[in-house]
Amino acid sequence: MKYDFSKIKGLLFDKDGTLFDFDKTWNSWTKRILREVSEKSGVDLEKLAASIEFDLNTEKLMPQSIVIAGTHKQVTAALHRELPDWDFDHLESYLLDIVIETPQYEVIPLKSFFENLKSKGFLLGVMTNDAEKSARAHLINAGVYSLLDFVAGSDTGYGVKPHAEPLLAFSKQTDLQPNEVAMVGDSLHDLKAAHAAGMVGIAVLTGMATEDQLKKHANMVFPSIAELSQYLLTESV
């Protein structure tokens, strides 16, 4: 069933799994940090992989891994339990530097995607449970940071998904009512946050969650933001 977007004036996007291909980005990052940290610390690779639920056989994160929807600090904490001799802040900074260096694979060309939405009058934002520093770096590299009205990470100070506060921060900054905003994401965290904030929840299937897992929590489900863009630009505005 199609949703009436005529009242929607703002679009808030998750980053990884929504704007950027999660599988290519984060499985690559995880393989690298596990290998490097194991070599530097002498801690068994299997133990480190188990701490963040990464399958070394398939070289993929398990669906319940903290890396998928957790914050950067939570991922650091999970690894740190196996690395008690490492300074926590040093480990957190080290992992963040690798995040920033990790190539990002856009789901679709993001610059034209955001330019088209901007031309239709939408106010745009990104809210991720990743750190703000890495999110900002990735969005700048994609050439879209200047097109956004709001960018927040788990450490910006608004809280984290699935809580409503970071979404409401976007609403406040853009002077929109919550029911004038749609949260677009690939995880239950995104959709639960949208519901808690009184916003429209839009699911895309470019992350780790399946349509069956997301559809009961979403107002609409799209294969990716490409189909969402087509719908918004041709049918609702």
Note down the domain range covering 113.
Answer: 10-20+106-236
Mean pLDDT to the nearest integer, 210-226:
94
> Does 199 lie in the same domain as 135?
yes
| Residue where one domain finishes, among candidates 68, 101, 134 | 101
> Does 185 lie in the same domain as 125?
yes
Number of domains the chain is built from: 2
Q: Which is it for the CA torsion 208, 152, 116, 195, positive or negative?
A: positive
The answer, yes or no, to whether residue 237 has pLDDT greater than 50, is: no
Model confidence pTM above 0.75: yes
> Does 112 lie in the same domain as 229?
yes
> Does 15 lie in the same domain as 130?
yes
> Does 151 lie in the same domain as 48?
no
Buried residues in 43-64 as b, exposed as e (16+ CB within 10 A): beeeebbebbbbeeeeebbbee
Q: What is the 3-state secondary structure (H, E, C) of 151-191?
A: EECCCCCCCCCCCCHHHHHHHHHCCCCHHHEEEEECCHHHH
Query: Could you report the per-residue pLDDT of 152-209, keeping only the tens digit for each?
Result: 999 999 999 999 999 999 999 999 999 999 999 999 999 999 999 999 999 999 988 8
2 falls within a domain: no
Query: Could you report the per-residue pLDDT of 13-34, keeping only the tens digit for each?
Result: 999 999 999 888 888 889 999 9
Q: What distance lies between CA 95 and its chain's CA centroid?
A: 17
Query: Could you report the per-residue pLDDT of 96-125, keeping only the tens digit for each?
Result: 999 998 889 999 999 999 999 999 999 999
